[in-house]
Amino acid sequence: MSFQDIFNAGFLEGVSSLSVVDISITLILSFVVGLFIYQVYKNSYQSVVYTKSFSVSLVMMTMVTSLVILAVTANVVLSLGMVGALSIVRFRAAIKDPMDIVFMFWSIAVGIVIGAGFYLLAIIGSIVIGAMIILLNMNVVTAKPYLLVLSAENHDVEKLALDKIKSSVGKYQVKTKTVRSDIVELMIELRVKEDQMGLINKLLEINGILQASLISSHEYSV
Q: What pLDDT digit, counting tens, does each position of 60-78 carry?
A: 999 998 988 888 877 666 6
**pLDDT-derived band at 49, boundaries 50, 70, 90:** low
* Confidence (pLDDT) at 23: 87
pTM summary value:
0.58
- Give the span between the Cα atoms of 102 and 44, in whole angstroms: 12
166 Cβ partners below 8 Å, 6+ apart? 172
Phi, psi of 188 (to 5 degrees): -120, 135
Apex CA 220: angle with CA 214 and CA 222, to 5°?
155
Inform me whether the pLDDT recorded for 92 exceeds 80.
Answer: no
- Count of all residues that appear for the chain in the document: 222
Choose between 87 and 120: higher pLDDT. Answer: 120
The correct CATH number of 144-216 out of 3.40.50.300, 3.40.50.150, 3.40.50.10420, 3.30.70.260 is 3.30.70.260
Of 132, 126, 130, 14, nearest to 66 by C-alpha is 126
- Give the span between the Cα atoms of 89 and 178, in whole angstroms: 39
Beta bridge partners of 147: 189, 215
* Whole-number average pLDDT of the chain: 78
Q: In this predicted model, what pLDDT tens digit does every residue of 96-149 receive, in sequence order?
A: 677 888 898 999 999 999 988 899 999 999 999 999 988 887 755 456 778 888
* Confidence (pLDDT) at 53: 82
Q: Where are the domains of the chain?
A: 3-138, 144-216
